[in-house]
Structures are given as structure tokens and as C-alpha cells.
Amino acid sequence: MTTQKPRTGRRGDALSKERIVRAAVETLDAGGEDALTFRVLANRLSTGPGAIYNHVANKNELLRAATDEVIAHVTTGAVTGPEPGEAIRAIMLGVFDAIHAHPWVGAQLSREPWQTAMLQIFESAGRQLTALGVPEQAQFDAASALVNYVLGVAGQSAAGARALPGETDRSAFLETVAAQWTTQYDAADYPFVHQVAAQLAGHDDRKQFLAGIDLILAGISTLR
Amino acid sequence: MTTQKPRTGRRGDALSKERIVRAAVETLDAGGEDALTFRVLANRLSTGPGAIYNHVANKNELLRAATDEVIAHVTTGAVTGPEPGEAIRAIMLGVFDAIHAHPWVGAQLSREPWQTAMLQIFESAGRQLTALGVPEQAQFDAASALVNYVLGVAGQSAAGARALPGETDRSAFLETVAAQWTTQYDAADYPFVHQVAAQLAGHDDRKQFLAGIDLILAGISTLR
DNA sequence: ACCTGAACACCGTTCAAGT
DNA sequence: ACCTGAACACCGTTCAAGT
């Protein structure tokens, strides 16, 4: 009679959307996209797979919530910025770093681009464009270009993680890619691919990501 | 005894990778990504699901082959171009149109960016950059920016097709998206999103895609 | 050498039965 | 109101058995 609202279960806490999402993020971080199943999630939460549906509509909603949680930290952190171009760089780098830390986020962002996470990025970028002095009717195109670029990088990051699930040695991976390119594609038919393959080994993803952002920003400064 | 190598089966042609890939493309075009199953494919080819594995290693290889077939038409077509900037625009528009005609191609490209299809686009773009006079060490970054942008657009196109599988009325879809944005996100927190939502209805995807390409090209011309 | 199709090992999701 | 866990309707893939 005294226990009207038992906030904690017998063992550990009661099931809740927060706990489920947190467990999902941990599972995804540990084992990648394919590791997340309702059965292993239920097991980790010591319950049955059906119980999860009391707090989450389906797997898509769960993935959406997990992605939003990771990205929310990025956009809220980098609000203050003196120069608008620098602010855009900071936001985009934040997204890049989040995706590199959680490659499944990249896959989810490119699968469902218009979920809250991406809209927040779109909003933050758009505001800075106004500050940059980009004409209003060009702002949409400029923000879209930035977002599309980030989505492309996000997808590639996820693909890389899928290709080598547990690996950490990035340069070894790039060497494998370069070797595949030079082996499978003829130098006569693919001269540019061969030229780039040589540069691939000593190659910094993060720096190249920023170079792309700067290229788009340089193009945007043309619009003023 | 006379029939040493029966090239044709009793009904229709014998099973072959070509026939399987063609049937896969048709199935994907008709029903989208989820419509392709080995069971429906086998049914369409009047055989059992196991037979397909005699010609194709697995579903990933099949999707890869289907994508390559669609994209091959694009890059081989637009080789001749007078001005390199115009040539890049033509290649990228070709990819855009192919993705719009077959949205599942967009999904596959962003899932496996470094398959033959994307490498061909990368190669074509890279060659034109040389012609544009972009310094060699900057060519990799410039080509990557273009390819990442296209991949982002590809993923979004696929996501749109997933959201409304059979629909053709594009502007009706955009109005739904705009309505969702303005309803679910507060104007005070998302001013830019609200501003853009108003422009969304009378909005041309293809034109915006080109605007993004032009933005990147403008940035690239800075590098010379 | 290729095809057949039942069977295996999984999924996400549902739902009667419990508490 | 929430949890339990067997069951359903699917997947991709395998493999003994046929031809």
C-alpha cells in the first residue's frame, strides 16, 4: 500500500525510453549498426524484446532518438562564435568528430536526413550564413550545399566502418583501399584514381573534410 | 547427343548474371529498395532462390552490379566537353538524373561509395580538374568535395523515395515536409528552418543541385 | 555444371497471458 | 500499466538431392 509508484524495479532501474536509448547507443558504439537488435537490447536490459515496445514505437524511432542524443551535444556546444565563417567550420567539425566517434550516426543521418539532428545542423549553419551577409534567396542553396556535403562524408564514414568493423588502424585501411584501386583498375583507364591512390596513405580525413568546407565557403563568399 | 551446349532453356533464356541483374534493376525500379528479395527475384525468373547463387555471390554483389549498370551509361556518355567546368556540371547532372530516375541507386551509392560506379564519377571529375588548372595536391580535395556533395544528395534522394514509395507529386511532398517543419519546430528556436520552409513549395531540386555544384566550382576556381 | 526447394539461423514485431 | 516470451511473417543463405 505504501509503494504507490515504485520508481526502481527489483534489480536496477525501471525500464524507460532514456534507459533504452542509452543502452542502444552503447550497443551501437560497441558493435556497430548490425549489433543493435531488440533481442540483444532486451538481454542487456534484462527484459523481453516485447517490453521495449512499451516505450519506443519501433526500431527506426530508436535509431532516430539515439542519433539525436549524440548530435544534440554538437550543436548546443558551438553556438558562440566570433566570425561566422569560423563558426560554420566549428559546427561542421563538431559533426565530423561525432560521426567519427560513432560511425553508425553517419549511416543514420544519411538514411534519414530530415530528422531533428540534421535540422539542427541546418539551422545552425543557416543562421551563420545570414551573419555572413549571404542574400536571403541564396541562403537556402548555400545551407543545402553544406548539409549535403556533410551527409556525403557521413555516409562514407559509415561505409568505412562497415568495411572494417573492429579496426582502428586508419592508415592501414587506406593502404588496402589504395592497393585495391591500383590493382583492380587500369592506370590507362583511371589515371586520376591512380594519381590519388599514391596520396591516399599519408592522408588526413579531418583535414580533407575541412578543405571541402573551405571550398564551399569560398564559393559562398562569391555570392555576397 | 546433338545438344552439347543448350544456350536457351525450355522456356525463355537460360539463367545468367546479365538476366539476373536486369531483373533486379526492373524490380528495384518498380518497387524500390525493399522490393528486391531473392524470393521475388527467383519467382520473376521462374526458378528457385538458390539458383541465383550460382551466378551472384550475394545480395551486396547484386546491388553493386545493378548500380554499376545504371551509372555506366552516365559517365561514358558525357566524355566530350569543351569547357572543363561545363563538363563537370554535365557529369554531375547526369548522376543526379540517374539517381532521380532510380532512387535506389542513391541509397546504394551512399552505402558503398567506393564501388566502381562512384570511382568512375571520381575519375571523370578528377580529369576535368586537371584541365581546369587546379594544382595537383589540391585536386584530391576538390574531387572529394564534389563526390561527397553528390553522395549527400544521393542519400537524400533515396530517403525521399523511402518516405513516399509510390508518389510522383513532388511539390505535394515538399509541402508536407514544410508543414511538418513549421508545426514540429518552434519559430523562435528554428528561425532559419521556418524561413526556408516558406521557399520549399516552389522549389526545384535539380536547380538547387546545380547551384551547389556551382558553389563548389566557384570555390575551386579560387585554388588556381 | 546447374537447378530445386526445403531447411537453417536469424530478423522486427505482435499479442495472449501474466503481474 | 507494464512486462513476459512464445509465435508470426518475413529475411539471406545453405545444401542435399535431383537433372
pLDDT digits (tens, 9 = 90+) for B33-51: 999 999 999 999 999 999 9
Task: Please judge whether B152 and A152 are an interchain contact, meaning their C-beta atoms are less than 8 angstroms apart.
Answer: yes
All cell numbers assigned to A57: 514505437
Q: Are A124 and A132 in contact (CB under 8 A)?
A: no
Report the 10 Å Cβ neighbour count for A208: 16
Query: Could you tell me how many helices (H) and strands (E) chain B has, helices first?
Result: 10, 0
Burial class (CB in 10 A: 0-12, 13-18, 19+), A210: middle
Q: Give B132 to chain A, closest Cα distance, Å.
A: 14
Distance between CA atoms of B55 and B57, rounded to whole angstroms? 7
Report which residue type is found at B90: A
pLDDT tens digit sequence for B188-215: 999 999 999 999 888 899 999 999 999 9
* Nearest-Cα residue of chain A relative to residue B211: A141
Q: Point out the residues of chain A with pLDDT beneath 70.
A: 1-13, 77-81, 165-168
What is the SS3 assignment for A8? strand
**Residues in chain A within 8 Å Cβ distance of B149:** 145, 148-149, 152
Task: Please judge whether A199 and B137 are an interchain contact, meaning their C-beta atoms are less than 8 angstroms apart.
Answer: yes
Burial class (CB in 10 A: 0-12, 13-18, 19+), A12: exposed
Q: Are B71 and B63 in contact (CB under 8 A)?
A: no
Q: Give A12 to chain B, closest Cα distance, Å.
A: 35
pLDDT tens digit sequence for A34-61: 999 999 999 999 999 999 999 999 999 9
Strand D nucleotides within 7 Å of a protein CB: 2-7, 10-16
* Nearest-Cα residue of chain A relative to residue B187: A123
Beta carbon of A55 within 7 Å of strand D? Answer: yes
Tell me if chain A has a CB within 8 Å of the CB of B110. yes
Taken in order A133, A135, A137, A142, the sign of the CA dihedral is: negative
pLDDT at A166: 67
DSSP A15: P
Residue where the block lists cell 531483373: B23
pLDDT at B91: 93
All cell numbers assigned to A16: 524507460
Distance between CA atoms of B91 and B129, rounded to whole angstroms? 13
Tell me if chain B has a CB within 8 Å of the CB of A147. yes
Distance between CA atoms of B42 and A126, rounded to whole angstroms? 49
All cell numbers assigned to A15: 525500464
Q: Whole-angstrom distance between the N-terminal and C-terminal Cα of chain B?
A: 70
**Residues in chain A within 8 Å Cβ distance of B162:** 111
Taking a contact as any Cβ pair under 8 Å apart, which residues of chain B between 165 and 194 contact chain A? 177, 181, 185, 190-193
Q: Are B77 and B94 in contact (CB under 8 A)?
A: yes
pLDDT band of B102, cuts 50, 70, 90:
very high
Q: Which domains does chain B have, with CATH numbers?
A: 57-222 (1.10.357.10)
* Nearest-Cα residue of chain B relative to residue A214: B219
Inform me whether the pLDDT recorded for B7 exceeds 50: no
CA of B64 and C1' of D14: distance in angstroms? Answer: 22
**Residues in chain A within 8 Å Cβ distance of B127:** 191-192
pLDDT at B176: 87
Question: Residue B176 half-sphere exposure, CB side, CA atoms within 13 Å?
Answer: 10
Share of residues in chain B with pLDDT > 90 (%): 77
Distance between CA atoms of A167 and A103, rounded to whole angstroms? 12
Q: Which nucleotide is nearest to B60 (CA to C1')?
A: D12
Q: Are B65 and B17 in contact (CB under 8 A)?
A: yes
Tell me if chain A has a CB within 8 Å of the CB of B151. yes
Q: Give A1 to chain B, closest Cα distance, Å.
A: 41
Tell me if chain B has a CB within 8 Å of the CB of A40. no
